[in-house]
Structure 1
Amino acid sequence: MSTEERATLLRWWEPMLGPGLLQTEGYARAVLQGGWLSDEVVDRALQVRRERRAATVDRPKPPTFSAIINEFALTFGPPELRREQLEHLLELSQRPKIQILVVPRSAGLHAGRQGAFVLATLPAGRRAGYVDDQLRGRVVTDGGDLDQLEISWEIVSGLALPVQPSRDLLRRAVDDHE
C-alpha cells in the first residue's frame, strides 16, 4: 500500500499547476504532452494517476486533502481545458474532506515558489513528504527535511486566502471564461 493510500491527511502545495490528483484528464494530458513524452508514456501516466486518485480522494473514506495553489496556476493552459479544470476544482472544493486554497498574486515572492511538494500524515503520527523536479520525484522521510517542508507549508498556508475567498476567486476565474 502506498504512502498516499495510507495517509490520513495529504497537504499539497502546487505553485504552477493544479495538484495532479485533482486534475481533469484533459488538463493532465495537456500537461504531460507538453513535454516530449510518447503517447504510450502519457497514457500510462494517466492510468497511474486514475488509480492513485481512486485510492485516495475518491475512495469511500478518503483522507483529508488540503491543496494550496498559486493564483498563477489558474491562468495556464488552453482556455477550454482551463475552464474545465477550474470548474472541476470548484466542484471538488465542495467535498467535505477537500480544502482548496489559493495564494493570491499579491503574495509576491516567498519560499513556496521554490517548488511543489506534498506532505502526508500517516497513522500513528508518522510523516512523509514528496518533492518533484524535472528529472524525478522523491519521497522524503528525513526528519530535518520534513521539518523544512512543514515550514514551507506554514508559509504558503499563511499567505493563502481562506476557504470562501479562495472559492470566490476560483468562481471568478471560471466566469472570466464565459
Structure 2
Amino acid sequence: MEREQPSDLHELIRTQLRRLRTAAGMNQEEFGRRSNYSASLVSAVETGTRPVDRPFAKRADEVLETGGMFEELLRTAEVLRQPAWFLPYLEAERTARQLRCYQSTLVPGLLQTERYARAVIRCDDTLTDAGVERRLANRMARQAVLDQEEPPQFVAVIDEVVLRRVDERLHDVLVEQVHHLIDLAERPNISVHLVPVGVGMHAGLTGPFILARSTDDGWVGNIETQLGGVLADKDEDVNTLLSKWETVRNEALSGRQSIELMKDCVKPWI
C-alpha cells in the first residue's frame, strides 16, 4: 500500500493564509471578494477540505502582497510529493525553454485532461483512492509549466494508436481528451504530431521519453519505464535521445494533418 505523504507544507500554507488575511483586517468573505473566490471556498482551503492550487496561491499572493510566497511554498510542496527519481528532471522541466516528448502508449502527462489522467492512474491497483488523487494533483500541477507568462515551446509526437485505444466504458473520456489535444495544438507554444499507424515499425517503439532544454541550451531527458523513469543527463545518452527524437518526428504528420487525424480518431465515439 502506498505510504501517506507529509502535508506539513500544505498546513503551513493554510496557517499563513489565515494569519496574513487576519492581519490585513479581512474576513473570509472580504478576502474572497478581492481574490474572486467565494467565502465558502476560502473557508474550505483554510480548513484543508479543498487543496490549494496554483491560481488560488497566485491570487492570495497578489491580494496579500506576499511577493510570491504562497506560490513558492506550493511549488515546494508539489516537488516534495514527487517520487525521488523524478525530481531532477522535474526541475529541468520547470525552467525549460523547449520540451520534446514522444509517447507510444499514452497521451503525454503535460497534455492530459483530469479525467483521462485519473483513468490512467487508476490502472495502478497498488494505489489507494487517496493515492490516486495525490498523484492526479501532482500531474495537473505539472501542467502549469505550459501556462507560464513565458512558456516553453512544447512539441509532442504521439502514436495514432494511443488515440484509438480505449475502454468502451470510457469513450467520452477519450473524446474529451482528443478535443483537449486539438485545443492545445492551436496554442502558439504547443505542437502535437501523430505518427499514423501506417508507418509500422519505427525507432520510437523502444519506449517513451521526454527532453527538456534549459536556458543554457543543455538538454536533460527522462525515459519512462515500468518502475518509474530513468534520468538521462550524460552527453551520450542525451545525444541518443535527440537522435531518436529526430527520427520519430520525421515519421509524424504535420500539425494540421495531425489535427484532422485526431478528429477522425474520435468519430466512431461521437
TM-score band, normalised by the shorter chain? over 0.9
Deviations along 1:34-85, one digit per CA (max 9) or x if unpaired, are: 121221221111111122111x112221100000000000112321111011
Q: Any idea what SS the aligned residue of 1:113 has?
A: helix
Structure 2 residue 251 is the aligned partner of structure 1 residue 159: yes
Structure 2 residue 203 is the aligned partner of structure 1 residue 139: no
Deviations along 1:1-26, one digit per CA (max 9) or x if unpaired, are: 81111100000000011101100011
Q: Within 2, Cα distance between the matches of 1:134 and 1:99?
A: 27
Query: Which of 29, 34, 43 in structure 1 is aligned with 2:133?
Result: 43
Aligned equivalent of 2:186: 94
Aligned identity (percent) is: 37
Q: Within 2, Cα distance between the matches of 1:3 and 1:148?
A: 18
Give 4+ residue runs of structure 1 displaced > 3 Å after superposition: none
Query: Which of 106, 110, 121 in structure 2 is aligned with 1:21?
Result: 110
Task: Give the residue type in structure 2 aligned to 1:70.
Answer: D
Task: Give the residue type in structure 2 aligned to 1:132.
Answer: E
TM-score when scaled to structure 2?
Answer: 0.64
**Could you say which structure has the higher strand fraction?**
1
Aligned equivalent of 2:213: 121
Aligned equivalent of 1:30: 119
- Number of residues of Structure 1 aligned to a counterpart in Structure 2: 177
Task: Give the residue type in structure 1 aligned to 2:107.
Answer: G
Structure whose CA Rg is larger: 2
Q: Any idea what SS the aligned residue of 1:68 has?
A: strand
Q: Which runs of 5 or more structure 2 residues have no equivalent in the other structure?
A: 1-89
Q: Which runs of 5 or more structure 1 residues have no equivalent in the other structure?
A: none
Task: Give the residue type in structure 1 aligned to 2:97.
Answer: T
Give the root-mean-square deviation of aligned CA atoms. 1.1
Larger RCO: Structure 1 or Structure 2 (Cα < 8 Å, ≥ 6 residues apart)? 1
**Could you say which structure has the higher helix fraction?**
2
Pairwise CA distance, 1:110 = 1.3
